[in-house]
């Protein structure tokens, strides 16, 4: 097709240009490491703004990198083919999580802008032998939950609220979804029914984590507060206002994270990061960042945070920056940590940057359209 | 001799004959001889015995007696001899006579034998004569020949008659021949007359033709010109011939609104063709050259050609006529007219010139009358990845191996589509005149290959595709210039198509400036830079310079071994760096083109570095264990890498800076949205690409970038403008896409500002309580304006107008 006046197909060319731009504007909203027996990072699942949930094999991608790629040259942006591709949602897919006790029996959950939560048997996904470009609807979800609509006057129905984040309680067999109608829905995995609705936030929810040790969940909302809920009663136990003192516009609790002991909470609130000690219910530190924080995760007693800048920052509990390093996405929406210490950062541009435990870029890949 | 012996014999006989009666003289002779001998013997014995001489007397007497007999005998012998002699003489005469007679007879005989033989050998002529066969003779011969008897011998008679008949016939034929000869001479005379007339005819016709020229012009039927063009088309090199023939076929078959013309010196072309033929074959074909020469005088008396002569002269002097850039003397000119205009001749869109580089076997195209640089050439990237800077095929690259890129100075360039148009992919690499001398078999296969190639050529409708592309390119460029002009005058572009919300939206923001960035292209020089004050503002220039230099900056940073990844402690805000990163993300490809003239750049760079150093110090002071990762790989080179593979896309791209401002409150705080618009040559197929950045200015000169805060919003706006609205527009609005994008951007900007301003209420809910005759109805729907993890703002369109949030 290049420079060819023969068999010119203008429409097809226009399509390719637009497709190219579409890929550029795509966002990876969440990455998740697939459970595997292999202690090394193996497969990463990516939820992106085109509603797709796809998995990529890290060893495979690394093997495709050009030889001699080390820290010397500019990194090579690989347009990667997924090895499993699920057409998950209409509109963006916001979160993926694995439900279950690890291994291949676990279920891949995703939620998205269409207000659905869908679950696939992970084994089915990785064992599918359908060619990748046909795979979109091949694997049938075993779970398909839709958020309820609100009733307005005269029977008017509100639009289906989106699901912005998921949390799971493996023991209780429940999924918690942070929905766009400011409610948290607790779903029973077996029956597919809403077990409980947590109401109280005044604006839509951005993030949710389950604190299984105390049977609590913690949510972060657009209204600028985080709440701790008791799952038994469905009542709000505590309201955390990270920005009580300086109310800034557009500050929402966009991300929250719990450490392994489930006693420390990190909240990304607009352009600041605050750390709370839950047992003591007090704010340990509050740090302002240059760009708004969009995802945080605990790495033992340190905090990894990414935001609307191409940087991965590492803080200690006191909010002191330990290090910052460049990452490929210009605006990162997701940071996820593998048990081996490998970090994956996904964000704007449909780019996922995988950083090894030693701080070098393992590989950087762009999600290709299927 | 014999006679003498005979005489002697006879003599001997005669000697003995006389004494025949008694004794023959020979006997006498013999007796006397012997008696002499006796006497001599007796005498000798006496002498020896000395006997007395008396006895001798006796003996002497006897002697004498013997001598007398001897003499007598001798005499009678002689007499005898004489007699025999005379007898012989008399007998010889009759013998002689008879001998003579015999001789005569012998001679006579041989003469007769000879005569007989001659008679016997005599041959008649008649077997050689082609006679009429006998039966025919009997049938056809007139009576006066058949009747009289000419000879007694029947066969002889017949033969004679036949011969006579033959003779008669032949005489008749001779007479006929003569008659015909005369007739022939008469005919030849008439032929010569007619020939003379015919010879004078062309000049008559020519004068007629000349007389008809004004009439042809009057009626717009350029028949003569067309003929002449076809004539010179035969001299075109094959690729140009394909271009010419296919275009004219397209024109005639589909009434395509195009015009073709062949310009250049026909004489040069003829000379070239002749030279080519000579070189290729070593033998110049008589027919070829004579035909070529025939053309020459025909062209000579053409008024049109004479007009072109001075025009041709400068091209001839062109130094690159020789060497690798040798151009064939003939060129094809293509005029493309607007296919939508009512009057076909009025709206000429563009004029292209096709020329053929002999050495490289490439066809070059240029816009006639334009001397712009390659990147402003309207033809570049007509099809993807075709900048015209590279030679299209390997063989040509080999020829000019020292300069892999095409000569930059030439205005016409070897685009790939031109090669496709010329069918270089299907023509064999032989000169046209050489093909004539080829062996017939190979010729047939070759022509077959060409025929199939040409049918493929037509199937692919190359001509149509290219003409359409050129037309749409030109129209798009004209529309683009119009839109840009309106923007430069700080007017919102007028949109004719109004069924989109932004077309009806009256923008609240101001169009503050619009100016070209980068190397001043033609457009920049032709259009006045309106936004003068903007440019003169130091900080403004600074920011432009920064964005321009950021690539070099980043590179040099890496070279210096400094740590670009080192970012200030969060409490310190360095907005510029952020801005940099944002800019360089996409600006890279364009930046390399910027000539490093901006004075502001190095200064700002330096300052920036100092800041960095300072930050490094402070940070290491504060935090000891912080391990700072020296980062080689930043996000920037990733983009750079990606762009590098597609450098052709940016070839000829122009960049503009559009500034929208909106005052957000009473304190004269202004929000400035700066959009870098990259318009590629492929407009509108590749829509202009907007890169946004935003900053707030309070008062006059305090700038505060909100990039990082609004990063996601800006990207969403970019996506909207660059991608989504393109999908919404119908095909025929394509050319006005820039206007749509700008208007849409303004609308989005307005909208975002409305939301961002604190005065506007953030959340609303519509609740209804209906108290009336019926049962009260209550309920509420929450209106939302943000949604999703990226806090996307929602716009709902109602009757082509937008309201923030939904459901409204």
Residue B543, pLDDT above cutoff 90: no
To the nearest whole percent, how much of chain A has pLDDT over 90? Answer: 32
Residues of A in contact with B727 (CB under 8 A): 18
- The more confidently predicted of residues A285 and B256 is A285
| pLDDT at B391 (0 to 100) | 75
Query: Could you write out the three-class secondary structure of B323-336?
Result: HHHCECCCEEEEEE
Residue B198 lies in a domain: no
∠ at Cα A41 (A38, A45), nearest 5°? 110
Residue-wise over A340-361: b if at least 16 C-beta within 10 A, else e? eebbbbbbbbbbbbbbbeebeb
Residue B537, pLDDT above cutoff 70: no
To the nearest whole percent, how much of chain B has pLDDT over 70? Answer: 61
Q: Which two tokens stand for residue B470?
A: 């050129």
- B766 to chain A: nearest residue by CA? A152
Alpha carbon separation from B606 to B102, B540, B594 (Å, rounded): 159, 17, 19
Q: Distance between CA atoms of A296 and B111, rounded to whole angstroms?
A: 155
Which residues 6+ apart lie within 8 Å of B69 measured at CB? B28, B32
∠ at Cα A206 (A203, A207), nearest 5°? 130
| pLDDT at B643 (0 to 100) | 40
Residue B176 lies in a domain: no
- B631-665, pLDDT tens digit by residue? 443 333 334 344 444 677 777 788 888 888 887 66
Q: Indicate if B751 and B774 belong to the same structural domain.
A: no
- A27 to chain B: nearest residue by CA? B790
Mean pLDDT of B733-753: 84
Mutant choice from B790, B791, B792, B793 vs A, greatest count of A C-beta within 10 A: B790
Answer yes or no: are the C-beta atoms of B733 and B740 closer than 8 Å. Answer: yes
Q: Indicate if B721 and B771 belong to the same structural domain.
A: no
Segment (H or E) for B130: none
- A119-160, pLDDT tens digit by residue? 998 888 888 777 777 777 778 889 999 999 888 777 788 888
Q: Which two tokens stand for residue B150?
A: 């000419």
User: A109 pairs with which residues across the strands?
Assistant: A97, A119
Residue B140 lies in a domain: no
∠ at Cα B386 (B381, B388), nearest 5°? 100
Q: Indicate if B498 and B603 belong to the same structural domain.
A: yes
Q: Indicate if B368 and B505 belong to the same structural domain.
A: no
Strand order in the sheet with A293-299: A293-299, A302-307, A309-316, A321-326
Closest of B236, B309, B233 to residue B276, by C-alpha: B236
Residue-wise over A32-43: b if at least 16 C-beta within 10 A, else e? bbbbbeeeebbb
> Would strands A77-80 and A361-367 be described as parallel, antiparallel, or unpaired?
parallel
Which residues 6+ apart lie within 8 Å of B248 measured at CB? B260
Q: Which two tokens stand for residue B611?
A: 């800041």
According to DSSP, residue B722 is labeled I
Q: Distance between CA atoms of B350 and B335, rounded to whole angstroms?
A: 6
Predicted confidence band of residue B97 (pLDDT cuts 50, 70, 90): very high
Residue B47 lies in a domain: yes
Domain boundary among B436, B458, B475: B436
- B679-701, pLDDT tens digit by residue? 888 888 888 888 888 887 765 55
| pLDDT at B182 (0 to 100) | 96
Burial class for B49, CB neighbours closer than 10 Å (0-12, 13-18, 19+): exposed
Q: Considering only residues 128 to 157 of chain A, which have any Cβ-Cβ distance to chain B shorter than 8 Å?
A: 150-154, 156
CB contact under 8 A, B709 and A22: no
Residue A15 lies in a domain: no
- B292-350, pLDDT tens digit by residue? 444 444 443 444 443 433 333 334 444 444 566 778 888 888 888 877 765 555 577 78
> What are the DSSP E strand ranges found in A199-240?
205-211, 216-221, 226-230, 236-240
Q: What's the start-to-end Cα distance of chain A, in Å?
A: 20
Among B417, B634, B763, the residue with its CB nearest the CB of A5 is B417
| pLDDT at B177 (0 to 100) | 96
Looking at the structure of chain A, the number of domains it has is 1
Residue A185 three-state SS: strand
Which residues 6+ apart lie within 8 Å of B687 measured at CB? A17, B722, B726, B737, B741
Answer yes or no: are the C-beta atoms of A306 and A295 closer than 8 Å. Answer: yes
Domain boundary among B415, B436, B457: B436
Strand order in the sheet with B654-663: B510-517, B654-663, B669-679, B689-698, B702-705
Residue B197 lies in a domain: no
CATH code assigned at A312: 2.130.10.10
| pLDDT at B199 (0 to 100) | 93
Alpha-helical (H) ranges within B342-461 are 394-399, 416-422, 432-436, 440-459
Among B416, B568, B791, the residue with its CB nearest the CB of A3 is B416
| pLDDT at A75 (0 to 100) | 55
Closest of A311, A316, A288 to residue A300, by C-alpha: A316
Answer yes or no: are the C-beta atoms of B689 and B678 closer than 8 Å. Answer: yes
Which residues 6+ apart lie within 8 Å of B315 measured at CB? B264, B327
Residue A77 three-state SS: strand
Q: Indicate if B684 and B771 belong to the same structural domain.
A: no
Alpha carbon separation from A210 to A260, A273, A295 (Å, rounded): 12, 20, 16
According to DSSP, residue A145 is labeled E
Domain boundary among B78, B95, B121: B121
**What is chain B's Cα-based Rg?**
67
Among A154-168, A175-189, B377-391, B458-472, the least confident range:
B377-391
Q: Indicate if B786 and B732 belong to the same structural domain.
A: no
A120 CB near a chain B CB, below 8 Å?
A: no
Q: Distance between CA atoms of B89 and B678, rounded to whole angstroms?
A: 160
Mean pLDDT of B38-43: 88
Answer yes or no: are the C-beta atoms of B80 and B17 closer than 8 Å. Answer: yes
Predicted confidence band of residue A305 (pLDDT cuts 50, 70, 90): very high
* Residue whose pair of structure tokens reads 């010329």 in the numeric block: B422
Residue B148 lies in a domain: no
Residue A187 lies in a domain: yes
Q: Indicate if B703 and B772 belong to the same structural domain.
A: no
Closest of B599, B601, B719, B591 to residue B655, by C-alpha: B591
CB contact under 8 A, B466 and A5: yes
Count of A-B CB contacts under 8 Å: 219
CB contact under 8 A, B384 and A3: yes
Closest of A19, A11, A29, A27 to residue A255, by C-alpha: A29
Residue A10 lies in a domain: no
Q: Indicate if B785 and B715 belong to the same structural domain.
A: no
Q: Which two tokens stand for residue B63?
A: 């002697």
Closest of B604, B499, B504 to residue B547, by C-alpha: B604
- B550-568, pLDDT tens digit by residue? 444 444 444 443 333 333 3
Residue B449, pLDDT above cutoff 50: yes
The alpha-carbon gap from A288 to the nearest alpha carbon of chain B, in Å, equals 6
- The more confidently predicted of residues B440 and B493 is B493
Residue B525 lies in a domain: yes
- The more confidently predicted of residues B626 and A143 is A143
- Residue B807: asked if its preceding bond is cis (omega within 30°), the reply is yes
Q: Indicate if B632 and B549 belong to the same structural domain.
A: yes
Highest mean predicted confidence (pLDDT) among B44-58, B200-214, B385-399, B409-423: B200-214
Mutant choice from A112, A207, A324, A335 vs B, greatest count of B C-beta within 10 A: A324
Q: Indicate if B792 and B739 belong to the same structural domain.
A: no
Answer yes or no: are the C-beta atoms of A304 and A343 closer than 8 Å. Answer: yes
Residue B371, pLDDT above cutoff 70: no
Answer yes or no: are the C-beta atoms of A46 and A352 closer than 8 Å. Answer: yes
The alpha-carbon gap from A128 to the nearest alpha carbon of chain B, in Å, equals 30
Q: Indicate if B773 and B698 belong to the same structural domain.
A: no
Q: Distance between CA atoms of B765 and A370, rounded to whole angstroms?
A: 40
Residue B538, pLDDT above cutoff 50: no
Among A106-110, A279-283, B566-570, B729-733, the least confident range:
B566-570
CA dihedral A281, A283, A284, A289 (to 10 degrees): 150
User: What is the total residue count of chain B?
Assistant: 808
> Would strands B348-357 and B362-367 be described as parallel, antiparallel, or unpaired?
antiparallel
Residues of A in contact with B635 (CB under 8 A): 310, 326-330
CB contact under 8 A, B416 and A4: yes
Residue A294 lies in a domain: yes
Closest of A239, A342, A358, A251 to residue A299, by C-alpha: A342
> What are the DSSP E strand ranges found in B492-602?
510-517
**What is chain A's Cα-based Rg?**
21
CB atoms closer than 10 angstroms to residue A328:
30
Helix, strand, coil in percent for chain B, rounding step 5: 60, 15, 30
Residues of B in contact with A254 (CB under 8 A): 789, 791
- A32-85, pLDDT tens digit by residue? 998 887 888 888 999 998 889 999 988 888 888 766 544 444 456 778 888 888
**Cα within 13 Å of Cα(B449), Cβ side:** 13
A251 CB near a chain B CB, below 8 Å?
A: no
- B162-212, pLDDT tens digit by residue? 888 888 889 999 999 999 999 999 999 999 999 999 999 999 999 998 888
Report residue A92: phi and psi, to 5°.
-65, 150
Predicted confidence band of residue B248 (pLDDT cuts 50, 70, 90): confident
Largest CA distance in chain B: 248
A72 CB near a chain B CB, below 8 Å?
A: yes
Among B155-164, B315-324, B576-585, the least confident range:
B576-585
A326 CB near a chain B CB, below 8 Å?
A: yes
∠ at Cα B510 (B508, B513), nearest 5°? 160
| Whole-complex ipTM | 0.85
| pLDDT at B630 (0 to 100) | 40
Which domain, by its residues, includes B372?
Answer: 222-436
- The more confidently predicted of residues B296 and B246 is B246
Alpha-carbon B28 to chain mean position: 139
Q: Indicate if B577 and B676 belong to the same structural domain.
A: yes
Among A309, A320, A333, the residue with its CB nearest the CB of B578 is A309
| pLDDT at B527 (0 to 100) | 37
Report chain B's mean pLDDT, rounded to a whole number. 70
Which domain, by its residues, includes A274?
Answer: 33-367
CB contact under 8 A, B709 and A292: yes
Q: Which two tokens stand for residue B258?
A: 């195009």
Looking at the structure of chain B, the number of domains it has is 4
């Amino acid at each position: 097709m290049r420079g060819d006046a023969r068999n010119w197909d203008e429409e097809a060319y226009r399509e390719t240009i637009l497709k190219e731009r579409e890929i550029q504007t795509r966002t990876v909203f969440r990455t998740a490491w697939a459970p595997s027996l292999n202690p090394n990072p193996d497969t990463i699942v990516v939820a992106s703004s085109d509603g797709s949930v796809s998995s990529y094999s890290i060893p495979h991608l690394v093997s495709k990198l050009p030889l001699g790629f080390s820290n010397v040259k500019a990194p090579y942006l690989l347009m990667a083919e997924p090895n499993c591709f699920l057409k998950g949602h209409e509109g963006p897919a916001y979160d993926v999580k694995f439900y279950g006790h690890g291994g291949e029996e676990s279920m891949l959950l995703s939620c998205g802008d269409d207000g659905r939560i869908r679950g696939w048997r992970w084994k089915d996904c990785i064992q599918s032998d359908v060619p990748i470009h046909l795979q979109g609807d091949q694997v049938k979800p075993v779970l398909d939950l839709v958020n309820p609509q609100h009733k307005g006057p005269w029977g008017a129905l509100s639009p289906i609220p989106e699901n912005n984040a998921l949390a799971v309680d493996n023991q209780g067999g429940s999924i918690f979804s942070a929905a766009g109608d400011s409610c948290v829905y607790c779903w029973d995995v077996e029956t597919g029914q809403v077990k409980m609705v947590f109401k109280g936030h005044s604006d839509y929810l951005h993030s949710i984590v389950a604190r299984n040790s105390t049977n609590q969940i913690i949510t972060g909302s657009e209204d600028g507060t985080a709440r701790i809920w008791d799952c038994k009663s469905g009542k709000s136990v505590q309201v955390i206002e990270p920005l009580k003192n300086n109310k800034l516009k557009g500050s929402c609790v966009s991300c929250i994270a719990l450490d392994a002991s489930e006693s420390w909470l990190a909240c990304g609130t607009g352009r600041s990061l605050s750390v709370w000690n839950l047992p003591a219910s007090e704010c340990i530190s509050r740090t302002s960042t240059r760009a708004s924080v969009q995802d945080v995760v605990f790495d033992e007693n340190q905090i990894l945070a990414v935001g609307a800048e191409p940087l991965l920052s590492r803080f200690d509990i006191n909010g002191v920056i330990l290090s910052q390093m460049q990452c490929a996405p210009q605006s990162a929406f997701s940071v996820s940590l593998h048990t081996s210490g490998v970090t994956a950062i996904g964000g704007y541009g449909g780019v996922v940057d995988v950083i090894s435990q030693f701080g070098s870029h393992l590989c950087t890949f762009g999600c290709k359209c299927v | 001799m014999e006679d003498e012996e005979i005489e002697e014999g006879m003599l001997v006989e005669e000697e003995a004959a006389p004494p025949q009666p008694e004794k023959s003289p020979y006997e006498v002779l013999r007796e006397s001889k012997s008696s002499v001998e006796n006497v001599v013997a007796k005498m000798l014995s006496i002498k020896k015995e000395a006997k007395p001489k008396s006895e001798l007397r006796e003996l002497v007497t006897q002697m004498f007696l013997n001598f007398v007999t001897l003499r007598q005998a001798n005499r009678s012998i002689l007499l005898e001899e004489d007699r025999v002699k005379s007898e012989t003489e008399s007998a010889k005469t009759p013998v002689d006579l008879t001998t003579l007679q015999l001789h005569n007879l012998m001679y006579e005989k041989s003469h007769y034998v000879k005569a007989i033989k001659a008679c016997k050998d005599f041959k008649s002529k008649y077997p050689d004569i082609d006679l009429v066969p006998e039966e025919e003779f009997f049938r056809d011969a007139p009576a006066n020949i058949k009747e009289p008897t000419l000879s007694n011998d029947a066969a002889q008679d017949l033969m004679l008659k036949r011969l006579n008949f033959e003779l008669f016939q032949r005489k008749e034929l001779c007479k006929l021949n003569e008659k015909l000869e005369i007739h022939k001479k008469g005919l030849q005379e008439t032929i010569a007359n007619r020939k003379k007339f015919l010879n004078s005819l062309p000049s008559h016709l020519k004068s007629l033709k000349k007389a008809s020229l004004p009439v042809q012009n009057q009626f717009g039927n350029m028949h003569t010109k067309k003929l002449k063009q076809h004539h010179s088309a035969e001299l075109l090199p094959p690729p140009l011939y394909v271009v010419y023939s296919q275009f004219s076929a397209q024109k005639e078959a589909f009434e395509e609104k195009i015009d073709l013309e062949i310009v250049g010196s026909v004489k040069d072309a003829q000379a070239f063709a002749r030279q080519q033929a000579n070189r290729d074959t070593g033998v110049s074909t008589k027919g070829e050259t004579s035909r070529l020469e025939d053309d020459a005088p025909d062209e000579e008396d053409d008024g049109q050609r004479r007009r072109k002569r001075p025009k041709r002269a400068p091209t001839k002097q062109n130094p690159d006529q020789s060497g690798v850039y040798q151009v064939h003397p003939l060129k094809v000119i293509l005029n493309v007219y607007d296919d939508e205009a009512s009057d076909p001749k009025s709206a000429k869109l563009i004029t292209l010139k096709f020329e053929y580089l002999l050495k490289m076997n490439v066809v070059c195209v240029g816009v006639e009358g334009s001397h712009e640089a390659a990147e402003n050439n309207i033809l570049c990237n007509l099809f993807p990845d075709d900048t015209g800077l590279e030679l299209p095929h390997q063989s040509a690259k080999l020829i000019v191996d020292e300069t892999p890129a095409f000569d930059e100075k030439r205005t016409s360039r070897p685009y790939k589509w031109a090669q496709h148009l010329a069918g270089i992919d299907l023509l064999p690499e032989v000169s046209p005149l050489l093909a004539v001398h080829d062996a017939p078999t190979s010729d047939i296969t070759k022509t077959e290959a060409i025929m199939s190639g040409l049918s493929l050529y037509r199937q692919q409708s190359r001509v149509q595709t290219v003409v359409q592309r050129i037309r749409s390119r030109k129209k798009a460029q004209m529309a683009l210039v119009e839109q840009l002009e309106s923007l430069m005058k700080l007017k919102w572009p007028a949109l004719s198509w109004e069924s989109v919300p932004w077309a009806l939206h009256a923008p609240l923001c101001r169009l503050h400036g619009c100016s070209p960035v980068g190397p001043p292209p033609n457009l920049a020089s032709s259009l006045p830079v309106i936004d003068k004050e903007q440019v003169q503002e130091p900080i403004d220039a600074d920011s432009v310079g920064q964005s321009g230099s950021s690539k070099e900056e980043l590179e040099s940073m890496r070279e210096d071994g400094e740590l670009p990844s080192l970012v200030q402690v969060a409490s310190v805000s360095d907005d510029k760096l952020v801005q940099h990163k944002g800019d360089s993300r996409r600006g890279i490809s364009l930046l390399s083109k910027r000539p490093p003239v901006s004075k502001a750049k190095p200064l700002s760079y330096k300052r920036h570095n100092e800041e960095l150093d300072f930050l490094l110090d402070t940070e290491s002071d504060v935090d000891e264990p912080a391990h700072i990762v020296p980062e080689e790989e930043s996000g920037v080179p990733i983009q750079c890498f990606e762009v590098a593979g597609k450098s052709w896309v940016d070839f000829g791209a122009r960049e503009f800076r559009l500034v929208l401002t909106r005052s957000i409150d009473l304190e004269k705080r202004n929000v400035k949205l700066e959009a870098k618009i990259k318009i590629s040559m492929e407009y509108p197929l590749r829509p202009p690409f907007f890169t946004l950045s935003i900053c707030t200015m309070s008062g006059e000169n305090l700038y505060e970038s909100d990039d990082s805060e609004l990063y996601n919003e800006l990207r969403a706006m970019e996506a909207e403008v660059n991608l989504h609205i393109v999908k919404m527009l119908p095909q025929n609005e394509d050319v006005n896409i820039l206007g749509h994008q700008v208007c849409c951007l303004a609308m989005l900007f307005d909208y975002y500002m409305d939301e961002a301003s604190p005065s506007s209420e953030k959340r609303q809910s519509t609740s209804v309580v209906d108290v009336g005759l019926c049962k009260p109805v209550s309920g509420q729907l929450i209106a939302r304006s943000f949604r999703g993890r990226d806090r996307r703002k929602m716009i709902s369109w109602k009757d082509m107008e937008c309201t923030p949030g939904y459901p409204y």
